[in-house]
Structure 1
Amino acid sequence: MTFMKTVGTAAAAALLMTAAASAETRITYKSAKAGSSYFQMAVQIAEAMKAGTDGDIAVTVEESQGSVQNVMEVRARGADYVFTTPPALVGLAQGGKAMFEGKGDPAFDDIRALFPIPSLTMHFVMSEASGATSFADMEGKTILLGSGSFGATEGEKYLGLFGLEGKVNIADSELSNAVNALKNGQIDGFVTAGSFPAPNVIEAAASTPVNVLSLTDEQIGMSKRTRLTIPAGTYTGQDEDITTTSLPVVAYSTTKMDDETAYTLTKIYWETREKMAQDAAWWAGVSADMLSNITTRIHPGAIRYYEEIGAPLADEHM
């Protein structure tokens, strides 16, 4: 009897340990290249989830080569997959268009949004010495665009849209050299895209007087991007709001994720956003109003949280 009781107790203890271990929810969060601001955001989110759930949710951050890859991996991933991408790419994947042409998959229809994260924000940074305070003033100036990034591609597009193609000298250098080149007078300005406040713009503004250009309403319309306001005082010497464009970025999962997990992820994200902003200012620009940037359906678990707080939801989110 004693032996059977001991075995029974051991079995019960093992069962409890197994249950405790299985109580931990593991999430894979795939965002961007290591070293990028978006990878840093992913690390912050992982830490917030661990702290906010007392370790019940463990988030592993995975490096990514880009948003298209993040979407494509939905086809082979399970319920633990969270990834970031611009909302437009989800629409293209679900429609089998552009880079997803001929690569359609039913799994794309199961993608559901969780929450918006800081947008890719366009910055056109000109030295005060250049005298450039508008896009027209960029004519004849030397601009560094960099290469291979969203900012470089978008910046080149804007030069064409705004009548500056062939009228601006494009510096042959990497964006990583922009701040030193601007400070030394080798260039008149540079174009960069990232969450604001952008670290390289902070550095540039702190080392030499700069003007970050605003776009007109007409220019924003021509760009077909989302309007974004960078509040006055964001950068050294910035006395007025900057009106620019942005590419929204959102964290997504799929219908494979259970509602409770999606609810908890969304709840913890919003409840710790202000704390994260104390460590990295880019979180301060995120608000529930950015749900309007989501153009496809939101996960039912996330919807539950948004309804609890009275956040604005649209028909296409349901």
Structure 2
Amino acid sequence: MINLRLPLVTAAIAASLALPVAAETRVTYKSAKTASSYYQMGVQIAEAMKAGSEGDIIVTVEESQGSVQNVMEVRARGGDYVFTTPPVLVKLAQAGKAMFDGKGDPAFDEIRALFPIPSLTMHFVMSEDSGVTDFAGMEGKTILLGKGSFGAREGEKYLGLFGLEGKVEIADVELSGAVPALKNGQIDGFVTAGSWPAPNVIEAAASTGVRVLSLSDEEIAATKRAKLVIPAGTYTGQTEDIVTTSLPVAAFTTTKMDDDTAYALTKTFWESKAQMGADAAWWNGVDQALMANITGKIHPGAQRYYAEAGIELTDAQK
């Protein structure tokens, strides 16, 4: 006897196998070089997104050569692209200025912010043995600036602003060698920019003893950067707050990303931040106050989360 139901059952099984096993959103997160703290942050965000979404959001972290590259790649990327950069670079890209001169593209106008991440924070780190307590005291000392990084460029700018150009010896050592060079007396200090607490400053403070210089309000105004306070006790031997400057950084995507994904990424980030802060202290410096540093537009999906959370946005961010 022929089983007339068998073809129907077979067809039903085939149809079920053709369906996706689970609804899964995949995102590429591009931040910085693998050795940097910002790459480590990307890994933490990827882990937080997977855990916070119960596996619905899978983030792949890509190495980057820097913020300019991250912005430039917007031209060829799709709706799954998330990247980090200072908001000021987005503004320059959209205006076709500075490093984006002659490289303008309509895709830059579609860049939208999601959430802030730890700022690039300037550290002027001097050994205790140097006796340096302010910028004037750096005259005649040997300072490591590093090469090609934001911190190196910013550090050189500050030396010029504060009358130290040509009055300090610049060490020809890579920033990766700063702590050993400080330990053996090759240098009196080094300049570094990154999240705080900075791993190389933690190491230097614990092993050698250092003083991280503070800037006066007048000096901060001259730099035209945002003021940032590193609380006392952040580094070994630090008994007072460190007043310094920072360059805000945020996570961005484009209008190609759908609203639901942008909403989920933003919501999961903020809801996971406390746990990320327990694992790595640099997240503890990120709070709602940093939203003011996002000078451009915020993705509509992210705006939905901020409205729900009662976080007010400026007209320029909407």
Between stretches 175-184 and 117-126, larger displacement belongs to 175-184
- C-alpha contact (below 8 Å) 1:289/1:312 kept by paired residues: no
- 1:127 aligned partner: 127
- 1:3 maps to a residue whose letter is L
2:64, 2:209 → 1: CA distance?
Answer: 35
User: TM-score with structure 2 length normalisation?
Assistant: 0.97
1:7 aligns with 2:10: yes
Cα displacement string for residues 207-231 of structure 1 (whole angstroms, at most 9, x for unaligned residues): 1221100011111111111111101
Cα displacement string for residues 173-197 of structure 1 (whole angstroms, at most 9, x for unaligned residues): 1112211221222211111111000
Q: Which runs of 4+ in 1 moved over 2 A?
A: 18-21
Report the number of matched residues: 315
Aligned pairs for 1:164-313 (under 5 A) are 164-313=164-313
Aligned pairs for 1:26-105 (under 5 A) are 26-105=26-105
Question: CA offset at residue 160 of structure 1?
Answer: 0.4
Q: Secondary structure at the match of 2:249?
A: strand
- 1:154 aligned partner: 154
Calculate percent identity across the aligned residue pairs: 73
Question: CA offset at residue 64 of structure 1?
Answer: 0.8
Gaps of at least 5 residues in structure 2 are none
Q: Secondary structure at the match of 1:19?
A: coil
Distance 1:239 1:312, change over 3 A: farther
Q: Please report the RMSD computed on the Cα atoms of aligned residues, expressed in angstroms.
A: 1.1
1:276, 1:148 → 2: CA distance?
Answer: 30
1:72, 1:174 → 2: CA distance?
Answer: 27
Cα displacement string for residues 201-254 of structure 1 (whole angstroms, at most 9, x for unaligned residues): 000000122110001111111111111110110000111110101111110011
1:63, 1:233 → 2: CA distance?
Answer: 32
Gaps of at least 5 residues in structure 1 are none
- C-alpha contact (below 8 Å) 1:262/1:302 kept by paired residues: yes
2:248, 2:74 → 1: CA distance?
Answer: 20
- 1:139 maps to a residue whose letter is E
Q: Secondary structure at the match of 1:245?
A: strand
1:307, 1:97 → 2: CA distance?
Answer: 33
- 1:267 maps to a residue whose letter is K
- 1:179 maps to a residue whose letter is V
1:172, 1:89 → 2: CA distance?
Answer: 29
- 1:187 maps to a residue whose letter is I
2:185, 2:35 → 1: CA distance?
Answer: 28
- 1:20 aligned partner: 21
Q: Secondary structure at the match of 1:20?
A: coil
Cα displacement string for residues 145-169 of structure 1 (whole angstroms, at most 9, x for unaligned residues): 1111111111011000000011111
Q: Secondary structure at the match of 1:290?
A: helix
Cα displacement string for residues 75-122 of structure 1 (whole angstroms, at most 9, x for unaligned residues): 111110101111001001111111111211111111000001011110
- 1:220 maps to a residue whose letter is I
User: TM-score with structure 1 length normalisation?
Assistant: 0.97
1:317 aligns with 2:317: yes
- 2:69 maps to a residue whose letter is Q
1:29, 1:123 → 2: CA distance?
Answer: 27
Between stretches 181-190 and 86-95, larger displacement belongs to 181-190
- C-alpha contact (below 8 Å) 1:130/1:188 kept by paired residues: yes
- C-alpha contact (below 8 Å) 1:291/1:312 kept by paired residues: no
